[in-house]
Amino acid sequence: MRYCKRCLMPDTRPGITFNEEGVCSACQHYDKMKEIDWEKRWEELETLAHKYKGINGKNGYDCIIAVSGGKDSHYQTYIFKEVLHMNPLLVTVEDNFPMTQAGIHNLKNISEEFSCDIISMKPNIKVQKIVMRNTFERYGKPTYFIDRYIYTYPLHMALKFGIPLIVYGENVSYTYGGADDEDTYSARKQIFNGVASGISTEEIVSYGVKEEELFFFDPPSNEDLGKLDPVYLSYFVPWNSYRNYVFAKRRGFHDLTHEWERTHHVENFDQVDSRAYLVHSWLKYPKFGHASATDYASRLLRYGLITKREAIKLIKEHDHNLDPLAVRDFCEFLGYRESEFWNIVDKFYNRDIFEKNEFGEWVLKEPVWKVEGIDREM
C-alpha cells in the first residue's frame, strides 16, 4: 500500500490518484480551493437561486434539499433558507434502524430551527431485509438498498412537486478522492458514483422481491432527469466539514457526546443518526484497508487541526475496531448471530493487503505506522 505523504490516505481508496510527489488527488483539490474566486462562485449561486426562486408561486417550494439531519444538512438549509431566502422542501430517507437520541433530535431540530417542511420516506422493511442480506453476503454492501433510495428519492420528489433545483452537500468523489474526479456544480452523475450503483434491478428482483415493491428504486428516465438541476453546494462555497459542524452546533445540532463513544470513529459528529448503518462504511476496512478513522484523520490533517503523529495514532487505535453496538443493532435487525456476521465479513478481507497474525486477527501487511518517515510533516 502507498500512502499520501500529506494526509495518509492509502492508494487503495477507489478512484483516488497520486501525483509524482506522492500527494493524493484529495489534497491536490484542497490546495486548489485556495486559488478559486469564491466571490465569483457565490455570484453564480445567487444567479441560480434567482432563476428558481418562487418558481411554484409565492408560497410554493422552490428547491429541494436532500437531508439526513446531520451537520452538513443544517448548513445547507441555512444557506438556502436564511441567506438566499428560498423556500426549501427538505427530503430524507430513513434507514429503518434504531436511531440514536442525537439522530432523533437533529432531524426534528433542522425543521424547527429553520422552519422547513420535511418529507420522509420509510422504505419497505420486509424488502429491505431481503435485499440487505443478499447484498451484504454477496458484495459486502449491506446498505445498498437504503443508499439507492437516498440518491433516487429526492429526484422523484422533485419531479412530483415540479421543483427543478435539488441541493446536495459535497461532491464526495472530488473532495475526498474518487472515480468521478471533476470540479463541477452539477450533481447529475451522482447516482453513478458507485455507492448506489453496480447492482442491477433485475438482480435485486431475483432475490425474491417484486418489481412493484421497488417504486422509486430506479432513478427517473434520462428525459425526466433532463428537467432537473441537481447541484453540489460545495462547488459554490469553500466546503469544510469541521466548520459545518461548528456552525451546526450553534444552531442546535447534537453530536454523540454523553451518548455513545464509537470505537471505530475518531470524532463524534459524523454519521450520528443510527448505529447499524455504520457497518456499511466500516466495511471499507477489510476491502481497502481504511475506514472512518482514516477518512476523518485525513480531513483533520488537511484542515491543520492535528499532526501526522496524532493522525497515525488515531488510525492505529480505531480504524480496525468496528463498534460492538453497531454490530449488535445490525445483527438484531437482520436476524444474524454475531458469529454469522463475522464469518461473512471474513470473506471480504483483501488477502493482498491483509494477513492473519499469531492470534488469528486480520492485520494490514503494510500499515501506515510502519512506513519509514511517513510521520514527517510536509
Tens of pLDDT, residue by residue over 106-131, are 999 999 999 999 999 999 999 999 99
Domain boundary among 235, 264, 283: 235
Low-confidence stretches of the chain (pLDDT beneath 70): 194, 377-378
Asked if the structure places residue 11 within a domain, the reply is no
What is residue 303's three-state secondary structure? Answer: coil
What is residue 84's three-state secondary structure? Answer: coil
Residue 377: its pLDDT value, please?
Answer: 66
Residue 145: its pLDDT value, please?
Answer: 96
Domain boundary among 201, 235, 269: 235
**Count of domains forming the chain:** 2
Asked if the structure places residue 326 within a domain, the reply is yes
Residue 156: its pLDDT value, please?
Answer: 97
- CA atoms of 103 and 105, how far apart (whole Å): 5
Q: Do residues 198 and 289 both lie within one domain? A: no
CATH of the domain at 135: 3.40.50
Predicted TM-score (pTM) of the model is 0.95
Q: Do the beta carbons of residue 326 and residue 275 sit within 8 Å?
A: yes
Angle subtended by helix axes 241-250 and 71-78, to nearest 10? 80
Residue 194: its pLDDT value, please?
Answer: 65
Residue 355: its pLDDT value, please?
Answer: 97
Domain of residue 90: give its range: 38-235
User: Where do the DSSP E strands lie in 154-193?
Assistant: 165-168
